[in-house]
Structure 1
Amino acid sequence: MNLLFANDTRGAYPQSWYAATAEPLEPFAPLKGQIKADVCIVGGGFTGLSAALHLAKAGQDVVLIDAHRVGFGASGRNGGQLGSGQRQDQQALETSVGKEDARKFWELGEAAKQLVRDLVCEHSIECYLRDGIADAATSPAAANELVEYAEHMDRNYGYAMDVLDKDGFAALCPSPDYHGGIVDQGAAHLHPLRLALGLAQAAAKAGVRIYERTLVHEIHEGNPVTVQCEAGRVQADHLILACNGYLGGLNRQVAARVMPINNFIVATEPLGSRTTEVLTQDIAVADDRFVVNYFRLSHDGRLLFGGGESYGYRFPNDIRAVVRKPLLKVFPHLHDVKLDYAWGGTLGITVKRMPYMARPAANILNASGYSGHGVGNAIQAGKMMADAVAGQSSGFDTFAALRSPRFPGGGTLRSPILALAMTWYALRDRLGV
């Protein structure tokens, strides 16, 4: 079964609130026949679109291919949180890679946020970019850890965050589920599909040849590399893999280290005057559960709430029911609120929860496995690969130097093994362990 088609209609965006409130581009034609390019990019999400835009601005002849539509995958479905740093926090990175390299990753994370802001400004992308993300603690012990983390970041990185006790956090987010938290005003939240479509429009304007509804069947390594599609093929000097959770079997080296998982989001009916029962400021929130709950208010006054995961190919039959459970744990007073939209998406995770960047061959680059931190990471990774094609690979090489273990079980057993492990940690969340 191919994840590209397991849960979605070919060439159509999911029935999400994002798709309902975006301004769709005219479809790009499928690829037919044989063409040549300096660089071929497979995948039209944040990574591929950013790579394409930066390559075209540097004068490269670029072809971008997507099996569905640009922004179809995780880039157009996610929680829209532009977080600081990396998916691993700085204390964890200091332990795993040392303080010097941890600081490099922090600085790269700060540059990623700025890159997104710069692109939004440069290309006048109306994606409702707003400052502020709160980390919410689900226990007193977790609240204390967040206080210590904020102090660590202020003391060692000069990065200040607002610390809230239980009452202070309740004034921000009226939920009985949380015991305090921190607010990062340097982070942000946005409408991800609008951002992806804005990048696609900018890339096309810069000269990128985009082909949608073009499924890649095989990649033949060599110089040039050949990308074989259903009704055509591309020969290119360089290939960029920007597929994330939808890579399938196109490259075994990458597939062994990047696991696809599914996550789910709902959008309530407009809350009107009840928005203050969710948040009293226009910020996003993510909590500390293993299966993270994340939420924010939309520009039209809905609660966008993400929660629940699955580890097979198929989405659950009733996504609303899956997400309603964690939503009502966080906001039991919203039991009477209608859920107007419910959708799922596939993302890529790694064992270490850090992006996997690598050169599977001399003229092939890959970046994927953003593990839920992809808005900034992916757009930055696209630029890094564009720079690497031009011979400026320092940023790319910093990530590529990270050890990225294979998932246990190989291609046959890794999904069942992951499902067992994830289910155990999700059970610990529910039991409060």
Structure 2
Amino acid sequence: MNLLYANDRPGEYPASWYADTATPLPPAPALDGDIRAEVCIVGAGYTGLSAALHLARAGRNVVLIDAHRAGWGASGRNGGQVGSGQRVEAPEMEEMFGRDTARTLWQIGEDAKQLVKDLIAELAIECELAPGILYTDHKPAHTAEMRRHARHMNEQYGQPLEFLDHDALRDHLGTDAYASGVLDPTAAHLHPLNYALGLARAVRAAGVRLHENTPALAREGTTIVTRRGRIRADHVILACNGYLGDLDRGIARRVMPINNYILATEPLGEERARALIRHNHAVADAKFVVNYFRLTRDHRLLFGGGESYSYRFPDDIAAKARKPMLEIFPQLRDVKITHAWGGTLGITMNRLPYLTRPAPGVLSASGYSGHGVALATLCGALVAEAITGDSPRFETMARLAHRTFPGPSSWRTPLLAFAMSWYALRDRL
């Protein structure tokens, strides 16, 4: 089953709160005929949009195609969190790679966060950017470790994390579900679809030829085959993440698509909304199957939770996300759900992005493992740098070893579902 068409209508954004509140971008024409370009980019999410923008600014002739619309995939559906560093915490990276490499990878993640903020300011993108992410843990046994982590990041990385015990956390959140947390004031949250559409406007203004509703059917060297034409290029960038399909089986063995779900409540009113999240920070908890949530400008709660590993979204997405929401905020049992949607992201075995050159003239970046708002934006820029000149940061990321998911493709989904069910059980113990 092709994930591009498994759950959504061709060429239409999902019926999300983001789509309902987006600043519309006029559709770009589908490709009709054979064309030539210096660089052809497949996928108009954050990676492809950022790569296209940076290449166009470097004077390259760029074609950007998407099977649906710009920002249609994970880029327009996610929780909107612009996190610090990498998806893997710095102490864990120190154990994996040593302190020097961990510091380099952490700084690359910090560069990613800053690039998002810089692009939003430079391009005047209206996407509700707001500071602060609160990371929480539900287990009292982890409180001492949370305190040590905040101290380590302050002392060794200059990261101004604020440790919060249970009582301090209650000043931030209207729930007793969590035992401790850390506040990262340098992280941020935003409207992810409006951010993607802002990048798309900049890409078109920079002279990039954008073709929507133009799925890539095959790659023949550096030629991309579409339904109604071929794109012959000197370089190809695969920026498809969880929607790669069969375009490159080597990448597909290392980047696993999984589905995740978000709901939006009805407007709660400012007083009730602030009783849930007092200081308008985004929140992500420490469970392996992460719950994440934040408020909107019109005082709704956006809540993400629940993953699945089949191709199809569940019949009742709202129920899947509502269950963990009520475990954290039982006071919302009477609240109506106005929107619920799913999306597909790409994860790797080590939870770090997978940057690679799978063939001569071909580059790829994907597998952001839930940290993609910032990292996908930067990795698009790094892929562009690798084409236009030297990119030490691209090479650093490309040197990371990425294991393949075990077994043939038919095994991966049930094996991952079994593993994630085990971790979900462990979260509850």
TM norm. shorter chain > 0.5: yes
Q: Which residue of 2 aligns with 1:170?
A: 170
Q: SS state of the match for residue 257, structure 2?
A: strand
Which residue, 356, 363, 366 being the options, matches 1:365?
Answer: 363
Give 1:254's match in structure 2, choosing from 251, 266, 275: 251
Q: Which runs of 5 or more structure 1 residues have no equivalent in the other structure?
A: none
Q: In structure 2, what is the equivalent of residue 263 of structure 1?
A: 260
Q: What CA deviation, in whole Å up to 9, does each residue of 1:54-80 have, x standing for no partner?
A: 000000000000000000000000000
Partner of 1:396: 394
Q: Report what 1:155 is aligned to.
A: 155
Output the amino acid matched with 2:237.
I
DSSP-derived class of the 2:121 partner? helix
**Residue 29 of structure 2 corresponds to residue 29 of structure 1:** yes
Structure 1, 342-351 or 150-159: larger mean CA deviation: 150-159
Deviates more, 1:404-413 or 1:138-147: 138-147
Pairwise CA distance, 1:143: 2.4
Could you tell me which residue of structure 2 aligns to residue 237 of structure 1? Answer: 234
Deviates more, 1:393-402 or 1:83-92: 393-402
Q: Letter of the aligned partner of 2:328 in structure 1? A: V
Unpaired runs of 5+ residues, structure 2, are: none
Secondary structure of the 2:163 match is: strand
Q: Distance in 2 between matches of 1:426 and 1:105?
A: 28
3-state SS, counterpart of residue 409 of structure 2: helix
Kindly provide the CA deviation profile for residues 120-150 of structure 1, in whole angstroms up to 9, marking residues without a partner as x: 0111000011100000110112222211100
1:421 paired with 2:419, answer yes
5 Å-filtered alignment, 1:11-410, equals 11-221=11-221, 225-272=222-269, 273-410=271-408
Identity of aligned residues (%): 56
Q: How far did residue 276 of structure 1 move?
A: 2.2
Aligned residues: 428
What's the secondary structure of 2:49's corresponding residue? helix
Structure 2: distance between partners of 1:76 and 1:390: 28
- The reply to whether residue 6 of structure 1 matches residue 6 of structure 2 is yes
AA aligned opposite 2:376 = A
**Within 2, Cα distance between the matches of 1:186 and 1:142?**
23
The structural deviation recorded for 1:428 is 2.2
Moved segments of 4+, more than 6 Å = none
Task: State the alpha-carbon separation in 2 of the partners of residues 389 and 65 from structure 1.
Answer: 18
**Per-residue deviation, 1:409:** 1.3
- 1:113 and 1:23 mapped to 2: Cα distance? 23
The Cα offsets for residues 134-170 of structure 1, whole Å up to 9 and x where unpaired, read as 0011011222221110000111112221111101101
Contact 2:27 2:69 in 1 (8 A): yes
How far apart, CA to CA, are the structure 2 residues paired with 1:339 and 1:412? 35
DSSP 3-state at the match of 1:193: helix
User: Normalising to structure 1: TM-score of the pair?
Assistant: 0.98
Rounded to whole Å, the distance in 2 between the matches of 1:327 and 1:317 is 18
Query: d(CA) in 2 for partners of 1:406 and 1:180?
Result: 35
C-alpha separation in 1, matches of 2:132 and 2:261: 22
